[in-house]
Amino acid sequence: MELFSFLLFFPILVVCLRVCKWVADERDQECYILDYQCYKPTDDRMVGTEFCGEVIKRNKNLGLNEYKFLLKAIVSSGIGEQTYAPRIMFSGREESPTLADGILEMEEFFNDSIGKLLSRAGVSAREIDLLVVNVSMLSAVPCLSSRIINRYKMREDVKCFNLTGMGCSASLISLDIVRNVFQSYKNKYALLVTSESLSPNWYAGNDRSMILANCLFRSGGCAILLTNKKSLKHGAMFKLKCLVRTHHGARDESYNCCIQTEDEKGRVGFHLGKNLPKAATRSFVDNLRVISPKILPVTELVKFMVVSLVKKWNRRGSTKGTTTQGPIKAGVNFKRGVDHFCIHTGGKAVIEGIGLSLDLTEHDLEPARMTLHRFGNTSASSLWYVLAYMEAKKRLKKGEKVLMISFGAGFKCNSCVWEIVRDLGDGNVWKDEIEKYPPKTLVNPYMEKYGWIQDEDISTFKIPEDKLFKGTNNTETN
């Protein structure tokens, strides 16, 4: 009888033990953010309107049409008056950068933000097990991750990854690497470093699709400390719930819409094609299709299916050739599964487009708009400035969820969802000025000063140096 009982309960015991082990392993595979530090360059790198005018004036390849185009782009960009540029711009050498310029720009960020982050978290650099660095437009030997290891004297067995060419969506690609490593190794610390080097990438030509990048990007960066240690989960800030990556590189139209190339005179620049919005929309829709079931309740998904079927049926019955213009709507209420929306600050149109697609309010879009206004498009690091704004405004409460959405060359759309582990309220990079935001107006003063350009005759165009950019003492973007 005892033998029979043993044979009966032994398999049950084995199953229970395996379930317990599986649960324990799953906990070890969790990915937590312990802390993060956004980079705020020194005030001597702040970009003002007068300075921007001088930079534009230095480009002898621009004519009236190009000035008009830049004027319109700056006015409509949503970028404010206190963003930051690399030091090479202030020495007037943007058309002749050196490797040292790009490395200096990165080292200023590394020395500031990584040091502050590790000091505040009480973690030694030698405790870091995994280092992931993403800087798309600078490739140096030794790589930037090796420079960080040397600067902070990390361990000999630290695992490092150095990503280039990933574009503005690189932060979440780096995060995916951290997550995958955490699934295989227990009790680890990871340091994720994300930024962009602008020094070697100024375009000095007059191709409209390439000079636009000069107006959009600004200096910035962020260092993030992550772990999968169970003992630290209660002190963490965020817990990763899911991450989805969408890549449309197989589509020629998407691949070529955002690409580093040369113009007809051999000058290297970053081409932004007219079909970029279309490529972004396609990748965004495909990404939402995958992430929606992971974060939304079943009732919302069923509602979406019903609405989609009704729309499809109505389109069948509609007159052939009739189309409705307007933004593509997601068709679901994402607020049923997400509380906050952390949107890549790729530009005012990007923010507004996502807002229309997800039916977001001005309150939801405020963090992205203010980040674009204060810091500009800092490429892959921009998401973390948006997150820091939410935290500084004390919006982030325990148990709530944050959806991050980013776009990048390739063409890629990456997204992830974080669960807030505890109430947050640190100011991070916004702590000295959060009370000023949102400002009363986001109106750009550039048109008021330079609107006369619009009335110039293209056949007789010659801007007198004493008139062009004269008396410009307000700060603005370049």
From first to last of its 478 residues, what are the pLDDT tens digits of the chain?
565 565 566 566 555 555 544 444 445 579 999 999 999 999 999 987 667 777 877 888 888 778 777 777 777 788 888 999 999 999 989 888 999 999 999 999 999 999 999 999 999 999 999 999 999 999 999 999 999 999 999 999 999 999 999 999 999 999 999 999 999 999 999 999 999 999 999 988 888 888 888 888 999 999 999 999 999 999 999 999 999 999 999 999 999 999 999 988 899 998 988 888 889 989 999 999 999 999 999 888 887 778 767 766 776 665 554 444 445 566 678 899 999 999 999 888 889 999 998 999 999 999 999 999 999 999 999 999 999 999 999 999 999 999 999 999 989 999 999 999 999 999 899 999 999 999 887 876 666 666 555 555 444 334 444 444 343 333 333 3
Instruction: Specify whether 248 is catalytic.
Output: no
Name the nearest CA neighbour of 173 among 330, 407, 398, 377.
Answer: 407
473 is catalytic: no
3-class SS at 159? strand
Pick the catalytic residue from 31, 134, 340, 414. 340
Active site residue 187: no
CATH number attached to the domain at 30-307+329-423+433-440: 3.40.47.10
Annotated catalytic residue: which of 247, 258, 342, 444?
247
Give the domain ranges of the chain.
30-307+329-423+433-440
| Lookup: tokens for 306 | 């019903």
Q: What pLDDT was estimated at residue 325?
A: 46
3-class DSSP assignment, residue 121 = helix
Where does 245-361 have alpha helices with state H?
A: 252-256, 276-295, 298-317, 348-358
Q: How far apart are CA 130 and CA 456, in angstroms?
A: 57
Active-site residue flag, 363: no
Report the alpha-carbon distance of residue 235 to residue 214 in Å, rounded: 41
Closest CA to 272 of 259, 281, 283, 285: 259
User: Could you say which of 201, 228, 342, 373 is catalytic?
Assistant: 373
Nearest Cα to Cα of residue 58 among 87, 31, 91: 91
> Has 340 been annotated as catalytic?
yes
| Nearest to 169, CA basis, from 382, 406, 411 | 406
- Residue 373 annotated in active site: yes
Cα angle for residues 209, 77, 85 (degrees, 5° grid): 85
